[in-house]
Amino acid sequence: MVAIRLDEIDRKILAELQADGRMTNVELAKRVGISAPPCLRRVRTLEESGLIRGYHADVNSRELGFEVQVFAMVGLESQAESELNAFEERCREWPLVRECHMLNGEVDFILKCVAPDLSSFQQFLTGDLLTTPNVASVKTSLVIRGAKDEPGVPFDVLEERMNRTA
């Protein structure tokens, strides 16, 4: 990872792009108070440093027919690094798994899954996840509704922190 020192303009650029990644460079420059050419250079630097990993559309999964969202808590028989890596690689191959996070504590991994319907998820659960080598246990929780789904980081908290240390 490249170490990069962020100034207030960089943080504003990141916050604005996190809120709306489709705005033009001219609009972004106007919002952060600089001209377009240096704004574009800063964005490219933020991309090259890995602070901006990509740009994505926030699609409505339910409107696209993915009615079921499930969190699956997975326990493994072995937590050897090779086994952890093998499970993570397998998760990357499953289209229904949208997020995979390794945890500490009782559960080794939590997976966020989407499926068109409950039977599709059940088929994935019994045909793929539960039959995966090294999987010892799986507990699932069906999402009834979501109350908050914010991408990225809270830049207002970052700004408060920066102001306290300045």
Model confidence pLDDT, tens digit, residues 136-156: 999 999 999 999 998 889 988
C-alpha dihedral, 91 to 97 to 98 to 99, nearest 10°: -50
Report all structural domains of the chain as residue ranges with CATH numbers, in order of start. 1-58 (1.10.10.10), 68-142 (3.30.70.920)
- Give the confidence band of 1 by pLDDT, cuts at 50, 70, 90: very low
- Give the confidence band of 159 by pLDDT, cuts at 50, 70, 90: confident
Considering Cα of 145, then 151, then 152, then 156, what sign does the dihedral take?
negative
Q: Give tens-digit pLDDT for 100-122.
A: 999 999 999 999 999 999 999 99
Distance CA(81)–CA(46), nearest Å, equals 32
The DSSP output letter for 17 is H
Rounded to 5 degrees, φ, ψ at 68 are -110, 130
Contact 13, 31 (CB under 8 A): no
For the chain, the farthest-separated pair of C-alpha atoms sits apart, in whole angstroms, at 56
Residue 2, pLDDT score: 44
Rounded to 5 degrees, φ, ψ at 164 are -70, -35
**Does position 8 have pLDDT exceeding 60, yes or no?**
yes
Rounded to 5 degrees, φ, ψ at 138 are -140, 125
Q: Give tens-digit pLDDT for 59-92.
A: 999 999 999 999 999 999 999 999 999 999 999 9
Q: Give tens-digit pLDDT for 27-49.
A: 999 999 999 999 999 999 999 99
Tell me which amino acid residue 1 is. Answer: M
Structure-token pair, residue 98: 């949208």
**Does position 162 have pLDDT exceeding 90, yes or no?**
no
Residue 166, pLDDT score: 66
